Amino acid sequence: MKRVLILASLGWICAAPAADFRDFDWGSSIAAIRDTEDAWPVFATDSLLEYQTDYAGRPMSLLYRFADGRLDGGSYHFAPFRQCGGSAAAPARRHACERRQVSAAFLDLVRLLSRQYGRPADDALNALCFRDAATIERYVGSRDDFGRSAMCVWQGPHATVTLNASHALATRDDRLQPYAELQIVFSAPG
């Protein structure tokens, strides 16, 4: 009798679904997430909750995305503007620092996410996943080369995960300036 009970318990544990994003399943309510997160959101609407958190040892914005009040995606955003001197830094020096920080974070996260989800597909989309930091930094862009990005995509059983390091323009101090950022986007597979 004990063997049957133990096997039945093990079968139930193995069949239990894994969480899709930060211990939540797709379709979780806004209230369930707000009740579980330790901090207050820094921004909240009917379709978005934003928190500040650390992920993989880096300060990041955490976003929960909702459709019809149910979780349908989430993401982490790393923009090292403050770590690179913020508005007080010379724009060229700050941008070079941001590119280095984003490139290093990209490579660290490729390793971390590959341990969790397996190796990304070996295709053109994922061509930059396992390059060196200098290649990623060049690809994330020079001051004049906007809109390029380095990307890796993993297909897990409970989520599609996209890691993207990009280079774009933003208005800072009333001027259009380059910046580098990194995003990790989680969405329901399919």
Q: What are 70-95's pLDDT values in tens digits?
A: 999 999 999 887 788 877 788 778 87
Half-sphere exposure of 126 (CA within 13 A, CB side): 16
Q: What is the pLDDT of residues 143-177, one digit of tens each?
A: 555 566 788 999 888 889 999 988 777 776 677 77
The CA distance from 143 to 129, in Å, is 22
Q: How many residues does the chain have?
A: 190
Half-sphere exposure of 181 (CA within 13 A, CB side): 18
Domain locations along the chain: 20-75, 79-187
pLDDT at 134 over 80: no
Q: Quick one: how far is CA 125 from the chain centroid?
A: 17
The CA distance from 155 to 175, in Å, is 39
pTM, whole model, 2 decimals?
A: 0.80
